[in-house]
Amino acid sequence: MYSEQLMMLLAVFERAALMLMTLFLLTRTQLFQSIVKKTHRRPVETAMISSLFILFAVFSTYTGLNVDGSLVNVRIIAVLSGGIIFGPWVGIPAGIIAGIHRYLIDVDGPTSVACLITSIFAGLLATWIHCKCAKKNYALLGILAGMCCEMLTMVLIVVLSHNKVQAYNIVSHISFPMIVGTLSIGLIIKLVQDLDEEKDLIAAQQAKLALDIANKTLPYFRINTRHALQKVCSIIRFYTGADAVAITNTQDVRAYVGRGEEQFLDAHHKISQMTRQAVESGEQIISNNLNVHNFHSLLIIPLWENGEVSGTLKIFYCQPDRIRMSLREMAIGLSQIISTQMEVSRIEQLKQMASKAEFSALQSKINPHFLFNALNAISTLIRIRPDDARQLIANLADFLRYNLERDVELIDIQEEIQQVRDYVAIEQARFDPKLEVVFDIDDVHPRVPCLLIQPLVENAILHGIQPSRVTGKVLISVKKSVDNVVITITDTGVGIDQQTIDKLYQGKIDSHRIGLNNVHQRLLLLFGDGLHICRLEQGTTMKFYVKEQD
């Protein structure tokens, strides 16, 4: 008896394996894959899936093994698998049609009514599992539901049969293979589920790979030089296992790393015809049977900026048929990230260029402004103290020559202080003995823009000390603090009014305060923090902070 039951169990597994093999072959087709992976299917697609599992269920009845007037088959396995995976429009029709078919082919059979009832029940139970339970539990619940349905079938066979002896005999022979055979439900469900999960897993892996590459390459895109782009190519080559990687613009190869790299070190290379085709069409080009410079697989992906193709990313392999779907999907995501990085890098460069242009414009306004005031100071001395005037002219000439000869944007603050000393010498010639200037300078060497402190000293003298009726004092301080260097200009003059301070911070300062506004704007552009102005009981303090370079 046990050997017979074992043979029947093998027969159940054999028929389930046939169904499993058929599903496996279908899952390799693009049509079936696209239908399975959809969350919302069209009615015709649902009808196709439903027809498939109805066919499985009906066919299993025809191929069932006849045992004492009953059929050992996998009908319940087909109904439950389809209903659990695809829902009510598959499970319920399959259960009803398969049950009615089983009843009609053996109307007076000892198990026909029981099989009709359990087939319909299986369809309803599968629908409940699909709608109410988590997908991760489908396989286990499918097995339990299959065992439940088969045990219900055994009970109904005994309850509904008029010949109890025959019913018990049938149940004793088929119960074990039919119940144990439902383990196949778990395999069928896992096969279909893994099809969707496999794509998600591959997509997640490729997305992580693209993000890893993006994180590694981001610093080099900000530099955007040929050497930096070669670093980008090296990183992409490492992560993709490519034999060579290149980045081009719409005309030339900008960077190339890998096999044959020595030919690109100092040469100028135009893009190939195939690359030009990718630039002009904006579409990927894949070649798995290439034969150029010992490369046999090539993937060319357009890079976009502002809605237009700005270049390409090219990935080469020496072996044929290396451009597979996973690499293609990863490369698409990577190209989108690279395109975004290049666009952001370009925007940052434009911002830096704009800031640099604005900074230069502000800087250029200082020279004529300073020159105008210095010449005014000298002109007052020409008649009353011509010798001093000649000396001041010589000092001014040296001062201006020094500024004109500088070809760097920033200078050591000690050099800036020397410029201030030259300016103070000119002003003291005008206001002596009314003006006293004191320098308190630490031995620090941060780099600052030329003519940054001088306009503040000029402002303190012309707008603080000059209007006052008493002798005034200007203190110029450069002191080292914990985190930075503090530059302070304090005067004992008439003091600045709060309205001027507010207008300065709002960018609405009057034109006669051009020097003050100029310094404030340049500090904001260069250091991100402008002037800090404080009204005193007598006079004004102006302060700003700079970092001292290591």
pLDDT value at position 266? 46
Q: Under a CB-based contact definition with an 8 Å cutoff, are residues 111 and 71 in contact?
A: yes
pTM (two decimals): 0.44
pLDDT band (50, 70, 90) for residue 351: low
Closest CA to 446 of 492, 471, 479: 479
Closest CA to 394 of 354, 366, 425, 372: 425
Average pLDDT over the chain, rounded to an integer: 81
% of the chain with per-residue pLDDT over 90: 14
pLDDT surpassing 60 at residue 407: no
Question: Residue 532: in which H helix or E strand, if any?
Answer: strand 532-535
Nearest partner of 276 among 297, 295, 314, 250, judged by Cα:
250
Q: How far is CA 373 from each of CA 308, 378, 430, 467, 538, rounded to the nearest angstrom?
A: 52, 9, 11, 16, 25
Lowest-confidence pick of 259-263, 284-288, 388-392, 508-512: 508-512
Name the token pair of 93.
């029709």
- How sure is the predictor about 373, in pLDDT bands with cuts at 50, 70 and 90? low
DSSP letter string, 313-354: EEEEESSTT---HHHHHHHHHHHHHHHHHHHHHHHHHHHHHH
257, pLDDT greater than 60: yes
pLDDT at residue 479 is higher than 90? yes
Q: Of the ranges 12-21, 24-33, 44-53, 466-475, which one carries the lowest mean pLDDT score?
A: 24-33
Percentage of the chain surpassing pLDDT 70? 85
Q: Which two tokens stand for residue 518?
A: 């100029």
User: b vs e for 263-288, b when ≥16 Cβ sit within 10 Å of the residue's Cβ?
Assistant: ebeeeeeebbeebeebbeeeebbbbe
Tell me which residue has tokens 């089983």: 102
Lowest mean per-residue pLDDT among 67-71, 84-88, 180-184, 202-206: 202-206
Kindly report the backbone phi and psi dihedral angles of residue 484, in degrees, each rounded to the nearest multiple of 5, phi listed first: -160, -170
Residue 306 burial by Cβ neighbours in a 10 Å radius (0-12, 13-18, 19+):
exposed
Task: Return the pLDDT at 267.
Answer: 47
Give the pLDDT score at 215: 77
Which of 163-167, 185-189, 316-320, 340-344 shows the lowest per-residue confidence on average (mean pLDDT)? Answer: 340-344
Under the banding of pLDDT at 50, 70 and 90, the label for residue 439 is: very high
Report the alpha-carbon distance of residue 493 to residue 476 in Å, rounded: 14
Q: Which helix (H) or strand (E) holds 5?
A: helix 2-27
pLDDT value of residue 310: 82
Q: Are 424 and 457 in contact (CB under 8 A)?
A: yes
The pLDDT of residue 405 is 58
Q: Which two tokens stand for residue 167?
A: 């019913």
Confidence at 346, pLDDT banded by 50, 70, 90 = low
Gap between the Cα atoms of 251 and 130, Å rounded: 56
> What is the rounded distance in angstroms from the CA atom of residue 308 to the CA atom of residue 505?
41
Span 180-194, mean pLDDT?
83
- Cα–Cα nearest to 24, from 174, 164, 176, 190: 190
126 contacts 83 by C-beta, under 8 angstroms: yes
Q: Write the pLDDT tens digit of every residue in 137-169.
A: 888 999 999 999 999 999 998 888 888 888 888
